[in-house]
Structure 1
């Protein structure tokens, strides 16, 4: 509320200033908007008289919450925004614009009932002049009723058509009101600054700076003007200047070009020293300043080499960084600028030097932060998965590419403009690679790529072009998409979606062998990791932290071992929304180095150990600070579990509660220990051997007795995930679910049955479907089928048993997501089952029948809690008696009451 009031106050003060003091005003107008969802056929007339508006402030999205619920899909339709502006009378002779940093994805903007403009595409800025719609009455302010009709519907002529991210609707970035003198730098140049800074030649000895643009005279008479450009250093001192005089007729727009005097011994911009100059361009008439624009200037030169990688300012530099999406939990994509900046800072703190701004241009704050912090970038338009063979689609792509380049032109952090991502991943219906429609489609994709590449080189010949492909090498070769761009990016997931880890290294070598003259970047790689899931036998696609750790350790080594790999970008910086995804964490893509709320995962620390130049030491699995496991033996009071410590130091010494566990040599940034955790709180203390610096972590351990009748370690509680090899930790309920085990006398476990597994090799066990009615999908996605008993040899006493079920077979069809690379993209269902009905007996007490005809609905979480008495040293015996099909159990909890 304070921020909104302050914004309104600043706007009021600015609007009250005398006209002579105003050259150009640009002020956000994010506060006090109204919003309502509406029908697609609604008009400005019906919207203006509608009721039931919701009070909101920008940034805003209407999909902040429905993308995370259990209902398939999310609202992709029409929304209206409304705001009332009071434009001061002193602006009558000014040129007034509405400037939108981004609104997804088709916008119509009305002012006082009249259409000011339309814009297609959700990820680039746009602006419309509105002076002609303002009606002034003498010295009274002009009222401006702004209505914005917006839709995020699917439109085959607007990219993206489909993608592994959510297409949030709304005015989700800032909106500004801009007022300029009738004489001004070009305000109608694709929402750019209207001035463009180039550096034709830069070296350590000297730098050339050229500024181009256009000056518009919308006054009613000719004007004699001076255009002045100055370069200011970081201290504000003018280090170069150039001016020109020109006379513009009324209504004339004229381009200009100013080459400034060479800067000698320039302070270069680099990733370790991101020094910024400022370029200030102004228009004056006599001593009166009419307009002024400021742009950042970073003096650097760079090149890519197919054999030796990337060079910045003549020095080799391995580009290591991440991709980034623009959403945050609870906010959708409507982020305040501070959260955009925080993401770039987190990348810098990791030691990264590169950001692939994927898969679309993002908030201007992102590139501004990259300029300041020294992060090199690639930016791309959202042509993802496929194209539409239509002139409308091609034209929108060309317009987006132009908008992206001109709006981001003056950012020194940008070194690559890209235009396609995995565009052959989803072929249209009926199109196959080897049929005539397929060949025609590949030809159209090639034509679009060539048009976008040619356009980019015309717009900005100083930067590189890139097309990003998925791992179908021959297909992209056949389409010519490895030949057109200057750089080729590969999104590679060997050892995750398919194959073995070694396939990644083999793929890099193949590119270098078959495309020896084409520089290579690994533009995506990653493995999903749910911070709640852990395994000491990690397997591909199990979503555990441990598999993701092994994956990143293999990939980074392969990248660093190959000088010809210019750079690599982890997919992704942080977990992000992908509404169509199901699996253990529904509606989210969890391939990332940070959780959705930006908490580091182990892999983040691993990269810090390799990228930071200062001493670094960090105990891994810090978020796994609640663990459990069985005691090492019947009389043991500890459980051994592995712990990794990430460091750039040679060796690490580890202590547990003050007891020395020894010193381990760090191998590729990782020192590995086997830690004997005891029941209760365990404090780990790591020190770099012979070096200053240490790290500490407190881990609470719930030790399970190996013998449930142990007097040394009394039984209190057990939570088991059936059909599972992973540990699931629930910090909210303070529970740890351990993987199943077979029953052994004196202990606990299942008797009989098999692990449920979907056909195919992608999942090691369990299902990949969203389980309804629960936040613990991972527990319900695995089960043991055909078991006859579950036994616990607990002491006599009173217990509470909770049984968890979910019907995983005969599930309704669901789209097979194309990015899972599981074959067909058609609808698929889990195998048909003949139905299931069974009885559960707890120590002989029968529960009501569980049946797919009644209580066991497909993909629906079901649980029941039953008090049980253990008597006569018999423990707890849970019998499963199948009547139709096989009995199943997904999870079980047993808790001693007294």
Structure 2
């Protein structure tokens, strides 16, 4: 909602005179502050008069599980990263003004993990098992206007193991209170699509569902204004319509945009549709819908097109946790992560394996990332280490959950495809398997006919889906791994549109995409390391291009040489002598006495590379056409390793590695000098252990103590170590491979925040960040 509010302020600056004499009954109130929380199962906590005075005061979003402790015996197991489970209760007292009587009041949850139940003034409103779905309850019949009201929420995470990755626990996404007129636009009731798009003209279709909860039929006017990114009204559409008492009506309007600013990769050009429901000249409700003008399509022989341009989808799968933040992830964290991934050539995200928070899609819209929006990891068949997951609820809930996901997400410009399953273990070689897939796809097509549907097939040959007709139902054939099987499936039937929905980091997987025009793209597993799916003592799955604090691994440097157009060259070495151990991007062995021969891999998209050790050339080699690295075996010497990439004999890229001395000091580097007093704005402060020349010590694991003062607060401390069980919520944490991360949020209105880092035997360092006040008010639109 923050982004939509900002966009609306742009609209108001242009058309404020139009609204100055009008009033609107829609009011959206941020409902995140001042909740009471208790980790216990207290049945009486749903009642109006329950005494919660001793409960903990928390603000939302809130993930209580990330506070730990991590324990091998926790029932969440390897999937949940051995974090605790349990039942959490939340309560919030609030008042509704008498002036709101006669209006409709709703509470919107962006996600509660999991098996949530909600009460208002002791009245049970409903239950939602799926922790990733957004949902709404109407409060109107049970409210006390001019008096105290109580919302109570129970989140039950005791049935474990429930997930193959860390989910978080509690009300871990935002909550809003929405007040509307009796006649209003339905939740997710506006759908904007762009049926025909070109550089010269775009046709816009706006479908709006208006609800009349009053006792009488009403003639309303739906006024829709198309507004560009600068706040200029491009077109006004006006429709008169009678809406029956207690009923609804779907209104369709058409518009055209001349010479549109197209949404594209890395070009987050966005428009808004401002929908006003009017009773005569009075605005009684209005809604803002942000959309992009673009065209997506798949062609069987040539893959994926955006705006009539053929490209490869270079995607990564992501889980939703933010490392030490758990499931509570401010958008500044995602923005930093997405920028790091973009630098590697990534242009697409798969939300594996569930819907993300709505503001994540807004961010992808703005940044120009493609998104595959995925609904479920399981249907009815369970998966190992997640036997008590969504498989228990799929049959009763898939239709409602799918409907809510699609209605919520269908206006995001970034979403180019829906996926309805990941490595589904239900029998797809059966009528029942066919029906489950088709029912979901048909529902999505009915709600959003503009995007194709796929799924991540699992060992498709063993399920016979390439021969039994199953994949012929799919809009796009998606397959996880076994790239050669997907290539063969297309050759078996060239009419199939094919896409790698989950792929490894291997060169063979990349060549399957690079060398086959019909392969639309692939999604690597994964973009970033994530909590869970790890065997004790590890608590983190480490298949990311980046570790969980954003550190680039060797595979990320290689990927950049394959996926970016800019000239690059990078050197990495085997960590132990004579070709053993991991690949690391440094020139500082752990044991200088036993490290004699360094095995190098050079990643480059240049024509040739040359390696220098302490200024002496180690030879020139051509970069192979088969995307394999250039290899050197060198006798190790302390000093500087330099690698140069050349095109047509001229230097195009350079990369240096320098041997580090003994740890000498801490160096703090903040990613911004000032931040807003806003939940989504945080500052990342990297802590490096360096030698006396400022060279990072890649083998350092010093324990760092952090002291914060002023207007900020420590949200999390983290590092890239898979087996570090220390709390991310304390004030001290070790660095890993010489680096750590502190994430700082704003504590109070404005002022300076100082972060100091100290460690025994090292020179300390500190940084200062300015916090700026952001005025907050009830959001009336």
TM-score range, shorter chain: 0.7 to 0.9
Matched, 1:28 2:22: no
Picking from 595, 603, 606, the partner of 2:555 is 603
**Contact persistence 1:231–1:277 (CA under 8 A):** yes
Picking from 501, 514, 533, the partner of 2:492 is 514
Structure 1 residue 208, shift from structure 2 partner: 1.4
Q: What residue is the counterpart of 2:773 in the other structure? A: none
Matched, 1:151 2:146: no
Q: What residue is the counterpart of 1:408 in the other structure? A: 409
Structure 1 residue 371, shift from structure 2 partner: 1.4
Q: Over residues 484-503 of structure 1, what are the superposed CA-to-partner deviations in whole Å (9 max), with x where a residue is unaligned? A: 221121111xxxxxxxxxxx
Q: Hey, what's the Cα distance between the residues in 1 that align with 2:379 and 2:196?
A: 38
Q: Hey, what's the Cα distance between the residues in 2 that align with 1:101 and 1:374?
A: 23
Picking from 341, 344, 349, the partner of 1:355 is 349
Q: Over residues 239-276 of structure 1, what are the superposed CA-to-partner deviations in whole Å (9 max), with x where a residue is unaligned? A: 2321112344554422211112x333333222143322
1:794-833 maps to which residues of 2 (within 5 A)? none
Q: Hey, what's the Cα distance between the residues in 2 that align with 1:733 and 1:345?
A: 29
Q: Hey, what's the Cα distance between the residues in 2 that align with 1:318 and 1:48?
A: 57
Q: What residue is the counterpart of 1:627 in the other structure? A: 589
Q: Over residues 509-534 of structure 1, what are the superposed CA-to-partner deviations in whole Å (9 max), with x where a residue is unaligned? A: 322233432222111123xxxxxxxx
Q: Over residues 577-622 of structure 1, what are the superposed CA-to-partner deviations in whole Å (9 max), with x where a residue is unaligned? A: 225x316x62322111111222221222222222223333444466
Which structure has more relative contact order (CA 8 Å, sep 6+)? It is: 2
DSSP-derived class of the 1:654 partner: strand
**Contact persistence 1:627–1:700 (CA under 8 A):** no
Q: Hey, what's the Cα distance between the residues in 1 that align with 2:391 and 2:587?
A: 54
Q: What residue is the counterpart of 1:482 in the other structure? A: 471
After superposition, the Cα gap between the structure-2 partners of 1:249 and 1:564, relative to the gap in structure 1 and judged at 3 Å, is closer
In the alignment, structure 1 segments of 5+ residues that lack a partner are 4-17, 156-160, 428-437, 493-503, 527-550, 633-637, 703-728, 735-770, 776-898
**Contact persistence 1:629–1:639 (CA under 8 A):** no
**Contact persistence 1:23–1:290 (CA under 8 A):** yes
DSSP-derived class of the 2:195 partner: coil
Q: Hey, what's the Cα distance between the residues in 1 that align with 2:410 and 2:338?
A: 19
Q: What residue is the counterpart of 2:640 in the other structure? A: 683
Picking from 233, 238, 242, the partner of 1:243 is 238
Q: Hey, what's the Cα distance between the residues in 2 that align with 1:520 and 1:275?
A: 28
Q: Quick check: which has more Rg, 1 or 2?
A: 1
1:507-586 maps to which residues of 2 (within 5 A)? 507-526=485-504, 551-578=505-532, 581-582=534-535, 586=538
Q: Hey, what's the Cα distance between the residues in 2 that align with 1:305 and 1:701?
A: 55
Q: Over residues 748-797 of structure 1, what are the superposed CA-to-partner deviations in whole Å (9 max), with x where a residue is unaligned? A: xxxxxxxxxxxxxxxxxxxxxxx99999xxxxxxxxxxxxxxxxxxxxxx
Q: Hey, what's the Cα distance between the residues in 2 that align with 1:515 and 1:367?
A: 34
Q: Hey, what's the Cα distance between the residues in 1 that align with 2:701 and 2:340?
A: 26
DSSP-derived class of the 2:337 partner: helix
Q: What residue is the counterpart of 2:212 in the other structure? A: 217
Q: What residue is the counterpart of 2:564 in the other structure? A: 612
TM-score by length of 1: 0.64
Structure 1 residue 480, shift from structure 2 partner: 5.3
Q: Hey, what's the Cα distance between the residues in 2 that align with 1:308 and 1:233?
A: 33
After superposition, the Cα gap between the structure-2 partners of 1:481 and 1:345, relative to the gap in structure 1 and judged at 3 Å, is farther
Q: What residue is the counterpart of 2:333 in the other structure? A: 339
Q: Hey, what's the Cα distance between the residues in 2 that align with 1:336 and 1:294?
A: 23
Q: Hey, what's the Cα distance between the residues in 2 that align with 1:381 and 1:402?
A: 10
Picking from 300, 303, 306, the partner of 1:306 is 300
Picking from 243, 261, 265, the partner of 2:259 is 265
Picking from 68, 80, 85, the partner of 2:89 is 80
Q: Hey, what's the Cα distance between the residues in 2 that align with 1:245 and 1:174?
A: 35
Matched, 1:731 2:685: no
1:107-186 maps to which residues of 2 (within 5 A)? 107-137=116-146, 142-154=147-159, 163-186=163-186
Q: What residue is the counterpart of 1:497 in the other structure? A: none
DSSP-derived class of the 1:208 partner: strand
After superposition, the Cα gap between the structure-2 partners of 1:28 and 1:390, relative to the gap in structure 1 and judged at 3 Å, is closer
TM-score by length of 2: 0.73
Q: Hey, what's the Cα distance between the residues in 2 that align with 1:517 and 1:600?
A: 39
| Aligned length, in residue pairs | 629
Structure 1 residue 171, shift from structure 2 partner: 0.8
After superposition, the Cα gap between the structure-2 partners of 1:470 and 1:222, relative to the gap in structure 1 and judged at 3 Å, is closer
Matched, 1:233 2:235: no
After superposition, the Cα gap between the structure-2 partners of 1:657 and 1:219, relative to the gap in structure 1 and judged at 3 Å, is farther
Q: What residue is the counterpart of 2:623 in the other structure? A: 666
Structure 1 residue 465, shift from structure 2 partner: 1.0
DSSP-derived class of the 1:605 partner: helix
After superposition, the Cα gap between the structure-2 partners of 1:173 and 1:419, relative to the gap in structure 1 and judged at 3 Å, is same
Matched, 1:253 2:258: no
Matched, 1:384 2:336: no
**Contact persistence 1:422–1:468 (CA under 8 A):** yes
Structure 1 residue 293, shift from structure 2 partner: 1.6
In the alignment, structure 2 segments of 5+ residues that lack a partner are 3-19, 77-83, 383-389, 573-582, 663-697, 704-721, 727-781
Q: What residue is the counterpart of 1:322 in the other structure? A: 316
1:581-592 maps to which residues of 2 (within 5 A)? 581-582=534-535, 586-592=538-544
Structure 1 residue 232, shift from structure 2 partner: 1.9
**Contact persistence 1:67–1:587 (CA under 8 A):** no
Matched, 1:200 2:195: yes
**Contact persistence 1:301–1:314 (CA under 8 A):** yes
Matched, 1:92 2:96: no
Q: Hey, what's the Cα distance between the residues in 1 that align with 2:557 and 2:521?
A: 19
After superposition, the Cα gap between the structure-2 partners of 1:381 and 1:153, relative to the gap in structure 1 and judged at 3 Å, is farther
Q: What residue is the counterpart of 1:450 in the other structure? A: 438
Provide the alpha-carbon RMSD of the alignment: 3.5
**Contact persistence 1:19–1:91 (CA under 8 A):** no
After superposition, the Cα gap between the structure-2 partners of 1:693 and 1:87, relative to the gap in structure 1 and judged at 3 Å, is farther
Q: Hey, what's the Cα distance between the residues in 1 that align with 2:558 and 2:445?
A: 38
Q: Hey, what's the Cα distance between the residues in 1 that align with 2:656 and 2:44?
A: 60
Structure 1 residue 364, shift from structure 2 partner: 1.0
**Contact persistence 1:70–1:773 (CA under 8 A):** no
Q: Hey, what's the Cα distance between the residues in 2 that align with 1:401 and 1:625?
A: 51
Q: Over residues 424-483 of structure 1, what are the superposed CA-to-partner deviations in whole Å (9 max), with x where a residue is unaligned? A: 2xx7xxxxxxxxxx79x9443332112111112222222101121122413142775423
DSSP-derived class of the 1:613 partner: coil
**Contact persistence 1:575–1:595 (CA under 8 A):** yes
Q: Hey, what's the Cα distance between the residues in 1 that align with 2:405 and 2:545?
A: 27
Q: Over residues 162-221 of structure 1, what are the superposed CA-to-partner deviations in whole Å (9 max), with x where a residue is unaligned? A: 55313432111111122223332113xxxx2x1011222223343211111212234566
Picking from 612, 617, 621, the partner of 1:655 is 612
Q: Over residues 847-877 of structure 1, what are the superposed CA-to-partner deviations in whole Å (9 max), with x where a residue is unaligned? A: xxxxxxxxxxxxxxxxxxxxxxxxxxxxxxx
DSSP-derived class of the 2:363 partner: helix
After superposition, the Cα gap between the structure-2 partners of 1:612 and 1:447, relative to the gap in structure 1 and judged at 3 Å, is same
**Contact persistence 1:552–1:603 (CA under 8 A):** no
Q: Hey, what's the Cα distance between the residues in 1 that align with 2:144 and 2:49?
A: 21
DSSP-derived class of the 1:79 partner: strand
1:756-775 maps to which residues of 2 (within 5 A)? none
DSSP-derived class of the 1:269 partner: coil
Q: What residue is the counterpart of 2:453 in the other structure? A: 465
DSSP-derived class of the 2:471 partner: coil
**Contact persistence 1:521–1:567 (CA under 8 A):** yes
Q: Hey, what's the Cα distance between the residues in 1 that align with 2:381 and 2:42?
A: 25
After superposition, the Cα gap between the structure-2 partners of 1:24 and 1:677, relative to the gap in structure 1 and judged at 3 Å, is farther
Structure 1 residue 361, shift from structure 2 partner: 0.4
1:37-56 maps to which residues of 2 (within 5 A)? 37-39=39-41, 44-45=46-47, 48-49=50-51, 52-56=54-58
Q: Hey, what's the Cα distance between the residues in 1 that align with 2:266 and 2:52?
A: 55
Picking from 650, 654, 658, the partner of 1:694 is 654
**Contact persistence 2:480–2:501 (CA under 8 A):** yes
Q: Hey, what's the Cα distance between the residues in 1 that align with 2:341 and 2:233?
A: 33
**Contact persistence 1:476–1:482 (CA under 8 A):** no
Q: Over residues 533-585 of structure 1, what are the superposed CA-to-partner deviations in whole Å (9 max), with x where a residue is unaligned? A: xxxxxxxxxxxxxxxxxx53332123211112111000111111225x316x6
